[in-house]
A and B are shown apart, each in its own frame.
Chain A
Amino acid sequence: MNSAVFPIIVPLFFAILLMFAPTQRVYQKIVATIGILSTLSMSVFVLQKVHTDGAQVVTFGSWQAPFGITMVADSISTLFVTAASLVTLFIIWYSFTAIDREREGNYYYAVVLLMLVGVNGAFTTGDLFNLFVFFEVFLMASYLLSVLGGTKQQLKESLKYMFINVFASALFVIGVAMLYAVVGTLNMADISVRVTQLEQPAIVTAISVVLFIVFAFKAALFPFFFWLPSAYSAPPIPIMALFGALLTKVGVYSILRTYTLLFPLDTTFTHTLLMILGIATMVVGCIGALASWNVVKIIIYNIFIAVGLLIYSISLFNEESFAGMLYYTVHDMLIKAALFLLVGLLVYVTGTQQLRQMGGILTRYPTFAWTFFIAILCIAGIPPFSGFIGKMLIVKGGFASGHIAGSIWVLFSSLIVLWSMIRIFIYAFWSKEGRFETVPKPTYVKMLVPTVTLVALCVAYGIFSSVVWPYVQDGAKLLMDPTLYSQFVLKGVK
C-alpha cells in the first residue's frame, strides 16, 4: 500500500482543483474544506495503520532503497503530519471570516494547501535531498502567503524573509553535496548505516554543523532568529498562525531526525551545542516576550521559548525527554495556532496591536476573555492542561541525565511564559475601558467558534493524553534506536 504518501497527494490534488476557479468564493471555501478534511482523515488513517502494522515505506518507481527516493511514514512523522493537518483545518476555518475578499480571490486557499503539501512532505520523506525539495515547496508557498496582498510592509518583510531563506537553502545544498561526497548516499537510512563504518567520523560532525545551521535558520534558533519577529508580523493573522505553528516545527523536526539518525557520532560536541543554543534561544524569547508591548510580538517571542525548549529536549538524548519532546511539539502546534487566532480576535475587536491602548474586554466579551485565560493556562503548562505533561517529561529526562541547571531554567521559563501572557490578560481584559471598534456580532461569533474549538481541543489533548500516549511512546523508542529505522527502510522489517 502507498498510504504513506496520501497526506501529501490529497492536499496537492485539492490545491490544483482550487486553482481552476480562483474568484468563485463559495467554490473555494467548499473545496478547501473538503480538501483539508480528507487530508486530516488520511493522516489519521496512516497514523493508525503505522501504530498497528508498523512503519509504511514507499519507494518511488519501485527503485528499491537506497537507490530510489523513499517516503517513510513512521510513528514520529505521522504524528507530526496529523498535527499539521489538524492545525491547518482550524486556520482555514478561521480564514473564512478573517481573510479579506481580495486574498480569497487570489489563490489563498490553494497556497495554504500547497504549504501543507510541503510541510507534510518534509515530515514524511526518507531522503535528504528530497527533504531539501520539500523545504523549497513549503518555502515557495510561504513566500507567496507572506507577500499576498502586496502592502508596503508585507513586500519589505517578504523580500528580507526570502533573502534569508535562499541563503539557507544554498547552505543546505552545500551540506548535502559534502555529505554525498563522504558517504556516497542520500537515503537517510543508508546514511545512518554508513556513517558508523566511516574511518574519519570527524568530517561528518563538521557537515552536521553545516546542516544544523540550515535547520537553525528555519527553526529560528539563537543566533539565527533575528529575521523571525519582523517577517512573521507582516502578513495577516491566519497566515501568521500558520507560519508560527508549522514552519519553525519543520526546522525542529529536521534537527530531531538528523541528530538522532544521521549524526549520533560525536554526541558530546553536537549535543552540547544543541543544549547551549536551545537555552540561549529560550533566553532571547523570554526577554522579547517581556519587553514587547505589542500583543502579536509577545506571541511571536513565545515561539522562541517553545523552540528552545524542544531543542533542549533533543539534546538530552534519553527516552523520557524524547517522549516529552514529541508530546510537547504537538501541543505547541495546537496552542500556538490557538493563541494566534485569539490574538487575531483581540486585534479585531480593539483595532490596535498596542497593549497599552486596550482594556476592559472582560466585561464586553466574557466568553472570549475566559477562552483566552484557559489558553494561557495551557501554554504555561499548568496541570492538568497539555503543556504540563510535555514539560514534566522533559524536565524529568533532564534530571535523569544530570542537567539540573538547564532543567530548572526550563521550569523558570514557563513562569516567564505565564507572566508575559498574564500581562496581556491584565492590561487588555481587566483594566479600565480602552479602545474598541464597532464589530458586527455575526463576524465576531464566526471568528470565535473555531478559536474556542481549537482551545477546547488543546484542553482535551491534555486531559485525554492517554489516547496519544502509545503513539508518542512508539516514536520515542524509534528515536533511541536508529537501527530500527534503517531496518524497516532497507530490509523491510516491520
Chain B
Amino acid sequence: MEFVMCAVIGFLFFAAVYLMLSRNVLRIILGTAILSHGAHLLILTMGGLGGEKPPVLQDGVKNAMMADPLPQALILTAIVISFGVTALLLVIGYRTYQTAKTDKIDDLKEDEFHE
C-alpha cells in the first residue's frame, strides 16, 4: 500500500513540476496546488498506513491497531492553509493579468526603471 502511495505522490510531484515550469501564470498556480496535494499525501503515507481502529481509547483496542491521529491533524491544517494561499494566488494572478495585460511569466520581469 505504501508503495502505491509513493508512486501516486511521485506522479503528483512530476505533474506539479511540469506545470510550474511552464510560462503561463495560471498553470504555475495549478502546479503549486498539485505540489501541495502531493505534500499532503506524503504526510499521510509517512505517518504509516493501515491503522484499522479510530484513535479512541476503549476496551479491546490496542496501541498497534490504532490509526495515527497526528498526520490527519497535520494534513487538515496544511490543506486549509494551501487552500487559502491558492485562493489568494488566483486573485492576485487575475489582478496582475488585468493590470499588466499578460499572463506570461516572462513578461512579468522586473522593470528596468531603477538601474
Residues of B within 8 A of A233 (CB): 114
Contacts A129-B77, A133-B77, A155-B95 hold; do A162 and B89 have CB atoms under 8 A apart? yes
Residues of A within 8 A of B85 (CB): 136, 139-140, 143, 162, 166, 169
Is B43 in contact with A159, judged by CB distance below 8 angstroms?
no
| Interface flag for A101 (CB, 8 Å) | no
Is A162 in contact with B39, judged by CB distance below 8 angstroms?
no
Question: In the docked arrangement, what's the CA distance between A7 and B63, Å?
Answer: 38
Interface residues on B, range: 35 or more
Please, what's the 1-or-0 string for B85-114, where 1 marks a CB less than 8 Å from any CB in chain A? 100110011011001100001001011001
Is B88 in contact with A143, judged by CB distance below 8 angstroms?
yes
Q: Would you give 13 A-B contacts (Cβ < 8 Å), ordered by A?
A: A140-B88, A152-B100, A155-B92, A156-B96, A156-B108, A159-B25, A162-B85, A167-B35, A173-B78, A176-B74, A178-B42, A180-B46, A180-B71
Distance between B37 CB and nearest chain A CB, rounded to angstroms = 9
| Interface flag for A405 (CB, 8 Å) | no
Chain B 48-106 interface residues, beta-carbon cutoff 8 Å to A: 48, 70-71, 74, 77-78, 81-82, 84-85, 88-89, 92-93, 95-96, 99-100, 105
Is A178 in contact with B46, judged by CB distance below 8 angstroms?
yes
| Interface flag for A25 (CB, 8 Å) | no
Is A162 in contact with B114, judged by CB distance below 8 angstroms?
no
Is A162 in contact with B35, judged by CB distance below 8 angstroms?
no
Q: Closest residue of chain B to A233, judged by CB?
A: B114
Residues of A within 8 A of B100 (CB): 152, 155-156
Contacts A133-B77, A140-B85, A293-B115 hold; do A173 and B92 have CB atoms under 8 A apart? no
Is B42 in contact with A177, judged by CB distance below 8 angstroms?
yes
Is A136 in contact with B81, judged by CB distance below 8 angstroms?
yes
Is B39 in contact with A177, judged by CB distance below 8 angstroms?
yes
Residues of B within 8 A of A153 (CB): 111
Question: In the docked arrangement, what's the CA distance between A273 and B64, Å?
Answer: 40
| Interface flag for A170 (CB, 8 Å) | yes
Residues of B within 8 A of A294 (CB): 114-115
Residues of B within 8 A of A132 (CB): 78
Chain B 12-51 interface residues, beta-carbon cutoff 8 Å to A: 20, 25, 28, 32, 35-36, 38-40, 42-43, 45-48
Residues of B within 8 A of A160 (CB): 105, 108
Interface of A is mostly: helix
Chain A 169-201 interface residues, beta-carbon cutoff 8 Å to B: 169-170, 173-174, 176-178, 180-181, 186
Distance between B115 CB and nearest chain A CB, rounded to angstroms = 7
Is A152 in contact with B114, judged by CB distance below 8 angstroms?
no
Which among B39, B71, B84, B105 has the highest number of chain A CB atoms within 10 Å? Answer: B39
Residues of B within 8 A of A (CB): 20, 25, 28, 32, 35-36, 38-40, 42-43, 45-48, 70-71, 74, 77-78, 81-82, 84-85, 88-89, 92-93, 95-96, 99-100, 105, 108, 110-111, 114-115
Question: In the docked arrangement, what's the CA distance between A143 and B105, Å?
Answer: 18
Is B108 in contact with A297, judged by CB distance below 8 angstroms?
no
| Interface flag for A158 (CB, 8 Å) | yes
Interface residues on A, range: 35 or more
Distance between A137 CB and nearest chain B CB, rounded to angstroms = 9
Residues of B within 8 A of A48 (CB): none
| Interface flag for A163 (CB, 8 Å) | yes
Question: In the docked arrangement, what's the CA distance between A233 and B114, Å?
Answer: 10
Chain A 287-306 interface residues, beta-carbon cutoff 8 Å to B: 292-294, 296-297
Is B96 in contact with A230, judged by CB distance below 8 angstroms?
no
Give the contacting residue for B43; candidates A167, A176, A293, A353; CB below 8 A: A176
Question: In the docked arrangement, what's the CA distance between A177 and B68, Å?
Answer: 13
Residues of B within 8 A of A163 (CB): 20, 28, 32, 89
Please, what's the 1-or-0 string for A387-404, where 1 marks a CB less than 8 Å from any CB in chain B? 000000000000000000
Distance between B41 CB and nearest chain A CB, rounded to angstroms = 9
Residues of A within 8 A of B20 (CB): 163, 167
Distance between A298 CB and nearest chain B CB, rounded to angstroms = 11
Additional A-B contacts beyond A169-B36, A169-B82, A293-B115 (19; CB < 8 A): A129-B74, A136-B85, A140-B84, A155-B95, A157-B110, A162-B88, A162-B92, A163-B89, A170-B35, A173-B40, A173-B42, A174-B39, A174-B42, A177-B43, A177-B46, A177-B71, A180-B47, A181-B47, A354-B114
Q: Closest residue of chain A to B25, judged by CB?
A: A159
Residues of B within 8 A of A297 (CB): 114
